[in-house]
């Protein structure tokens, strides 16, 4: 999908400052998530949702360099966001046309059309989109569509002090991301890889328009290892059902034919 806009999030540069979260909430006038202890380290937002469109995860993991030291751990930080999938389950399942693909190839929910049915929620393989209790409508990251129309970069990318969140043309971002991985490999960080950068990386979504550089398994970052848009399985499901129905019909016919012969004997 050349010509589109998107995000490249380099988790090796994230310092967990949450400036992106704050900027997102300020620009989009999102309600606060409460100042409660969540049990998630220093993470008070916990996950993406209707009022959290950027979420910085604080991931604790054992230190591989010191396996003999009890209690030794290291931090991973990652700023998560809607993936604006090249093939989006939310868009394909929306019955009202509220979810559209914009001219920037991003996925946008039109709040004035959304009826709150929730089909988009169950069809997002990343668990990104959610309904707001106050109005029942579905909300998620718009990739600052209003800012893009004014030729401004999204608020989260503008606020990021380390350039962990990078915004731009997808083709350029992918090329830059691949160069970044090569550089990290040369520096000894062999675990670095790209998650969702291209269609071949994630055929279940045809690639992501907001992709990531990771240094551990996707599950560590609360990302699915093999996300698949549910609607992609519809054809296979229908074929399977048809084959099952045909098989049952053959069994029924056979039972009538051969069962009848057995009775006459």
Given a cut of 90, whether residue 228 has pLDDT beyond it is yes
Please tell me which residue, 254 or 214, carries the higher pLDDT value. Answer: 214
Where along the chain do its domains lie?
A: 5-228, 229-265
CATH class as words, domain 5-228: alpha beta
Running DSSP on this structure, what letter comes out for residue 11?
G
| pLDDT digit string, tens, across residues 132-179 | 988 999 999 999 999 999 999 999 999 999 999 999 999 999 999 999
Which residue in the block uniquely carries the two structure tokens 């309600």?
Answer: 31
Instruction: Tell me the pLDDT of the chain averaged across its residues.
Output: 87
CA distance 163 to 161: 6
Report the percent of the chain where pLDDT is more than 70: 80
Kindly indicate the confidence band of residue 42, based on its pLDDT and cuts at 50, 70 and 90: low
Kindly indicate the confidence band of residue 35, based on its pLDDT and cuts at 50, 70 and 90: low
23 token code pair:
């900027």
Q: What is the dihedral of CA 234, 228, 168, 108, to 10 degrees?
A: 50
Contacts of 51 (CB under 8 A, 6+ apart): 25, 30, 31, 32, 33, 132, 139
Residue 256: per-residue pLDDT: 74
């Amino acid at each position: 999908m050349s010509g589109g806009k998107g995000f490249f999030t380099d988790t090796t540069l994230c310092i967990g400052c949450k400036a992106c979260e704050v900027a997102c909430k300020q620009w989009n006038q999102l309600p606060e998530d409460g100042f409660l202890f969540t049990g998630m380290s220093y993470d008070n937002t916990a996950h993406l949702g209707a009022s959290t469109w950027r979420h910085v995860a604080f991931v604790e993991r054992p230190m591989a360099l010191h396996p003999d030291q009890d209690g030794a751990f290291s931090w991973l930080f990652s700023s998560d966001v809607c993936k604006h999938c090249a093939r989006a389950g939310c868009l394909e399942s929306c019955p009202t046309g509220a979810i559209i693909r914009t001219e920037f190839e991003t996925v946008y929910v039109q709040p004035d059309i959304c009826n709150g049915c929730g089909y988009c929620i169950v069809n997002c393989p990343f668990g990104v989109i959610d309904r707001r209790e106050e109005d029942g409508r579905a909300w998620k990251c718009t990739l600052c569509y209003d800012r893009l129309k004014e030729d401004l970069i999204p608020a989260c990318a503008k606020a990021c002090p380390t350039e962990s969140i990078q915004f731009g043309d997808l083709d350029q971002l992918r090329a830059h991301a691949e160069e970044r991985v090569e550089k990290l490999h040369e520096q000894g960080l062999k675990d670095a890889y790209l998650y969702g950068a291209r269609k071949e990386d994630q055929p279940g979504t045809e690639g992501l328009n907001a992709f990531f550089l990771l240094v551990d398994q996707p599950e560590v970052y609360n990302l699915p290892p093999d996300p698949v848009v549910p609607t992609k399985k519809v054809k296979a499901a229908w074929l399977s059902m048809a084959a099952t129905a045909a098989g049952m019909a053959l069994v029924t016919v056979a039972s009538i034919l051969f069962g009848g012969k057995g009775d006459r004997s």
